[in-house]
């Protein structure tokens, strides 16, 4: 790894490694640093980079204490200074130039550290960043080398740099391989070229290659090879044209693949591809099931905002459940870094005149509104330049609303959209392209958009707005919270009904007369996203303005979808709609977002902190178009006079169903899910179709007993899909258990419209959406018109 980084630096700078690699020797020696968990928990730990330059080891100063390790590949980013709530809390004690935060992938908590000096902190910050860059720049072969190296270290129990046969048997169990001892000994003996009774370096690599022979890929290779040994340029062209269905520039593409993936320089000179090169291509991004041409921004971004699905978060500030969970600005950082473009802020009156954010009337912790705004301002456009919507649920007094408006203006500055783009009220929403780099506030507003142009209510310092939209959004949630707490009989001293909010009480007895005072300053921050109370689709078509946004609980949206699906789709072709989880989901679980996308709902808000099917689908949909958080809706959902009804897609004009055939061929290096010694995965693959109701389907392969290392299924699954433009395909691998629920192994979700045909690898993701290399599935895909 050290030499690889050194070589990269020589190529990029031409001056060798000394200037850039000074950090590695000091990291290899190690350093004492403080690990910070809270204002009171600050303990010294010795941190050291292992010789593989991939693993960081640390332990307590006290002799005999257990040590911990983590891989550089687990680290997503390094933040300098006081860039976490924990480090901010001890800012007076330790200067920013000694502090840094390691942010891990997935849902693993951050690691906050304080170095002994600013120089040492910089050495580790620059060093870890360079190591992360190295991991991200690894090719498929380098990733595989690293994976082999990791397994060698795990198996080499006595750390002598070689493996005896007992260590090899233990390794096979760790790798999910159930192999009889005779066959294992045969492979071991064949690999032991030195006849030393143990495997070293190259011998272990040879053992691994024998263990991982890909007969499934070899069969395909030999089918197209003229001589059975290599693929000529013509052979490769035939494969790309006939199997991969790549009709354009096949000759040029074949040349590119040989140049890119063929490891043999001799083969490159002869313009041929060996089996190793063929396998490297199929295992690469170009050989994956996701079309690389749809990874970047490829859609038209100049249409009105309501014509896009928008990646959206519910209760963004929560890290856990809805009743006692922690509130943190980290929730906003993680959501925005995943491409989320609509985040939620629940605002309440706080002490010392400062508004706070938390899940009202619960025991969730509280954070300052100004800290949330600062965080959003800092992270809004790090991964996507397209607009962010700040969805504000406002429970504050007029005085603290003015403070909110002040914070929004002062902290966000030019990023905050304060007036319509062209200076006058238009007849439709602007596009994501026109709103690049802008933050929009979604909240209640006094009057309409005209107030931001002609200053028609300039003399008014505050105004009243109907509270009906709050009734629609929060009545169910408040009543559920009250009932939950009532059953628990928990209260505050001196308060008769501590959990019965004034709002829910007022709503119950005066639903028609409820009003909320709104400050003009906060109202003026709302431009294109005014919250309004939805009455009916007919009323909306006649009276609603293009900048008004309706909000529905999942149950209300589901009701409208079943009763008036076509009208719902038409409504969403003109205006934005937000759908959010019901208040009964106190565990922060998620509903099925596909239902709402079927109706064209743009802002389908999910609990980003909760892994599972809902977030898998969200990640799958928004993995296309540059992961920018905006995906263009199908054309039939953008037409205001569209007759599309998700319940009856066969009545749609230009209706054209397709047949999807997936042959699940094999799996590679599936992760072990049961930590019990000797336990080996019995994998099966389930393919799920998520789309309109007629398309919802799932089928499974048979399970393979005791083989998570290289299971072979060769099972074909077929699906008829009526609305391919809306379909998502989710691959789920599970460990079969006949006596209890199957254990989750891995998953991958892809839009049908982004799937490549032919022989493809699917690189599996963990439960929280992070990659688990080199775990994969090998499949064959065909999509044909019915």
Give binding residues as ranges.
35-62, 315, 344, 346, 393, 442, 444, 551, 578, 680, 682, 706, 735-737
* Cβ atoms of residues 483 and 540 within 8 Å: no
314 included as an active-site residue? yes
- Partnered with residue 42 across adjacent β-strands are 36
Q: At 579, which helix (H) or strand (E)?
A: strand 577-580
The Cα 585–Cα 591 span in angstroms is 9
The Cα 161–Cα 273 span in angstroms is 34
* Cβ atoms of residues 348 and 362 within 8 Å: no
* Active-site position among 67, 182, 256, 314: 314
Residue 694 CB contacts under 8 Å (≥ 6 apart), including other chains: 649, 650, 722, 723
The Cα 215–Cα 223 span in angstroms is 12
497 included as an active-site residue? no
Q: Backbone phi, then psi, for 108, in 5-degree steps?
A: -70, 140
- Provide the annotated binding site for Ca(2+): 315, 344, 346, 393, 680, 682, 706, 735-737
* Cβ atoms of residues 281 and 270 within 8 Å: no
Measure the CA dihedral 55/56/60/63, to 10°.
40
* Cβ atoms of residues 432 and 412 within 8 Å: no
What's the per-residue H, E or C state across 7-76? HHHHHHHCCCCHHHHCHHHHHHHCEEEEEECCCCCEEEEEEEECCCCCEEEEEECCCCCCEEEEEHHHEE
- Provide the annotated binding site for substrate: 35-62, 442, 444, 551, 578
* Active-site position among 307, 359, 571, 690: 359
Question: To which residue do tokens 């979808």 refer?
Answer: 561
Quote the crossing angle between the two packed helices 118-136 and 2-13, to the nearest 10°: 90
The Cα 204–Cα 500 span in angstroms is 67
Q: Give the start-end residues of each E strand in 349-421.
A: 356-357, 367-368, 388-394
In the numeric block, which tokens belong to residue 157? 């129990």
- Partnered with residue 494 across adjacent β-strands are none
CA–chain centroid gap for 677, Å, is 32
Nearest to residue 78, comparing CAs of 41, 111, 37, 43? 111
Strand arrangement, sheet containing 55-60: 67-71, 55-60, 42-49, 31-36, 111-114, 99-104, 75-80
The Cα 306–Cα 569 span in angstroms is 11
The catalytic site residues sit at 314, 359
């Amino acid at each position: 790894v050290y030499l690889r980084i050194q070589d990269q630096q020589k190529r990029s700078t031409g001056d060798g490694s000394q200037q850039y690699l000074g950090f590695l020797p000091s990291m290899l020696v190690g350093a004492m640093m403080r690990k910070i968990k809270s204002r009171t928990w600050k303990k010294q730990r010795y941190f050291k980079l292992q010789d593989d330059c991939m693993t960081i080891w640390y332990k307590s100063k006290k002799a005999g204490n257990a040590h911990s390790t983590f891989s550089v590949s687990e680290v997503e980013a390094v933040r300098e200074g006081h860039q976490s709530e924990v480090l901010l809390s001890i800012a007076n004690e330790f200067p920013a130039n000694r502090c840094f935060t390691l942010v891990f992938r997935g849902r693993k908590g951050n690691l906050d550290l304080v170095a002994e000096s600013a120089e040492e902190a910089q050495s580790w910050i620059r060093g870890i960043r360079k190591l992360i860059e190295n991991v991200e720049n690894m090719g498929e072969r380098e990733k595989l080398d690293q994976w082999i190296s990791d397994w060698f270290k795990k198996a080499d129990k006595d750390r002598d740099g070689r493996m005896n046969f007992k260590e090899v048997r233990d390794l096979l169990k760790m790798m999910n391989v159930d192999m009889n001892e005779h066959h294992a000994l045969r492979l071991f003996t064949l690999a032991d070229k030195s006849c030393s009774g143990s495997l070293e370096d190259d011998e272990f690599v040879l053992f691994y290659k024998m263990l991982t022979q890909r007969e499934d890929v070899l069969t395909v290779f030999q089918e197209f090879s003229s001589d059975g040994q290599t693929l000529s340029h013509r052979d490769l062209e035939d494969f790309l044209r006939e199997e991969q269905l790549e009709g354009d520039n096949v000759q040029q593409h074949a040349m590119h693949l040989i140049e890119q993936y063929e490891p043999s320089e001799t083969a490159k000179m002869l313009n041929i591809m060996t089996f190793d090169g063929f396998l490297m291509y199929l295992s690469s991004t170009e050989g994956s099931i996701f079309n690389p041409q749809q990874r970047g921004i490829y859609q038209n971004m100049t249409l009105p905002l309501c014509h896009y699905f928008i990646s959206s978060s519910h209760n963004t500030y929560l890290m856990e459940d809805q009743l006692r969970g922690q509130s943190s600005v980290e929730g906003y950082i993680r959501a925005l870094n995943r491409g989320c473009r609509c985040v939620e802020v629940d605002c309440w009156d706080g002490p010392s005149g400062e508004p706070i954010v938390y899940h009202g009337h619960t025991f969730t912790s509280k954070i300052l509104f100004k800290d949330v705004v600062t965080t959003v301002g800092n992270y809004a456009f790090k991964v996507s330049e397209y607009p962010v919507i700040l969805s504000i649920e406002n429970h504050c007094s007029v005085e603290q609303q003015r403070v909110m408006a002040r914070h929004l203006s002062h902290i966000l500055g030019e990023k905050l959209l304060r007036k319509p783009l062209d200076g006058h009220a238009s007849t439709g929403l602007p596009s994501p392209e026109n709103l690049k780099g802008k933050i929009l506030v979604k909240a209640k507003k006094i009057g309409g958009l005209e107030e931001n142009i002609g200053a028609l209510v300039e003399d008014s310092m505050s105004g009243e707005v109907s509270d009906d939209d709050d009734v629609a959004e929060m009545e169910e949630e408040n009543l559920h919270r009250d009932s939950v707490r009532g059953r628990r009989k928990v209260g505050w001293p001196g308060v008769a009904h501590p959990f019965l909010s004034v709002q829910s009480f007022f709503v119950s007895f005066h639903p028609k007369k409820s009003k909320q005072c709104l400050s003009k300053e906060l109202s003026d921050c709302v431009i294109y996203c005014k919250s309004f109370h939805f009455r009916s689709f007919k009323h909306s078509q006649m009276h609603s303005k293009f900048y008004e946004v309706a909000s529905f609980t999942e149950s209300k949206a589901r009701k409208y979808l079943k009763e008036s699906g076509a009208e719902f789709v038409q409504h969403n072709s003109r205006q934005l709609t937000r759908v959010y989880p019901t208040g009964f989901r106190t565990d922060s679980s998620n509903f099925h977002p596909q239902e709402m996308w079927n109706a064209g709902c743009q802002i389908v808000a999910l609990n980003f902190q909760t892994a599972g099917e809902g977030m898998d689908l969200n990640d799958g949909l928004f993995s296309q178009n540059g992961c920018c958080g905006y995906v263009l809706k199908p054309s039939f959902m953008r037409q205001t006079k569209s007759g599309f009804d998700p319940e009856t897609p066969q009545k749609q004009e230009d209706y054209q169903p397709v047949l999807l055939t997936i042959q699940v061929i094999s799996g590679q290096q599936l992760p072990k899910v049961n930590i019990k010694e000797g336990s080996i995965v019995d994998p099966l693959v389930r393919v799920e179709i998520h789309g309109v109701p007629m398309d919802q389907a799932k089928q499974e392969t048979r399970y393979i007993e005791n083989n998570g290392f290289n299971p072979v299924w060769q099972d074909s699954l077929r699906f008829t899909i009526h609305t391919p433009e809306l379909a998502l395909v989710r691959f789920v691998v599970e460990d079969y258990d006949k006596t209890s629920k199957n254990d989750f192994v891995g998953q991958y979700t892809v839009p049908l419209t982004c799937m490549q045909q032919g022989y493809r690898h699917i690189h599996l993701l963990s439960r929280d959406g992070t990659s688990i290399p080199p775990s994969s599935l090998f499949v064959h895909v065909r999509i044909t018109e019915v």
